Structure 1
Amino acid sequence: MARFTPPAADAMRATLLAAARDEFSAHGIAGARVERLAATAGSNKAQVFHYFGGKDGLFDALLTHELTAALDAAPLDTADLPEWAGRLHDVTVERPWVQRLATWHRLERPDVALETLVERHGEAVAEVERAQRAGVLPRRFRPAVLFGLVVHLAVFWTALAPEAAGSVAAVTPPRRRQVVVDAVGALLGD
């Protein structure tokens, strides 16, 4: 009789996160079903509780993982903020679930700040502030406001409401990216 060898903890966590990505991005936190995502992962509900403490813990781990990966894929470049916004746009287009997960978080858990993401945001704002003090970026907006505006411009196309999508459907993907770059340039006064 073959011996059962359980999967490594890291592999099981990764498998559960992958299944959770699809489940949460499609159904949100309230609509997601732990049983369904566990079955997709070839696991069970007990594993979700073991590794993540429950559905909320799994969502928090997933959101932290996905947003961190997106930010790592487009490291902040205050020397060329318009092009950085273009790269962040590219990442959100390649990973549409990131914007959906962030939206579900804002809708269903608006009072929950995830420490790792708070730290990343603080580091980015501090970097913008250093660039403003060095004269690389304009000072017309506070650092946190400037950073927020740039991020929102970068994700504009993936956050577009369905009601507005038809009116801009003719804008091609390369042009969409250029709109982001140009809008951030205009924001900076370039």
Structure 2
Amino acid sequence: MFTGIVTDLGTVREVLPIGGGHDHRLIIGTSPAFLANPPVALGASIACSGVCLTAVELGGDWFAVEASAETLSKTTLGGWKPGTRVNLERSLRIGDELGGHLVAGHVDGVAEVIAATPENGSVRWRFRVPASLAPYVAPKGSVAVDGVSLTVNEVDRESFGVNIIPHTAAVTTFGTLQPGSRVNIEIDMMARYVARLREFQL
């Protein structure tokens, strides 16, 4: 489990095809402090732009993960290449501050950036989500965009808007996004379960 509070910006160093070229092994560079306080254990879960991945190898300032063909096809990972910036968050420990909202690291789909418009001291970002996910995004509800916990401002059919303050833009990949960029979306866990329960009540 995660909270959607990004604690480091990593950079993809290598993308190595494995599994007959269908899967990928990714080497992600990060700060030594991210891996050391406390030390990341082999097999630990790390959210990489919202995708929960397992650390299969560790270095002083890098870690390696492996992504299956399923993950590559359902997230933005299939388009990652050396130099891609990655939002990083270590898994939640009992007793940690829950600063965002509960995030599983199980991406529901990929959204597209529609626009980024300066608004007072922040920037209003608008995203278009797949039609199948649109019913789960609600005004003032929570959503994880590339692993960043955000509050939804408004919803218009298959699009929604959020405001990003300068601090968030500086410490996440929002500083590199632009209209047309693709991002990983995880809907609020509570919305997912409420919808599932309603299926059995109808």
Calculate the TM-score normalised by the size of structure 1: 0.25
Pair member with larger Rg: 1
More helix by share: 1
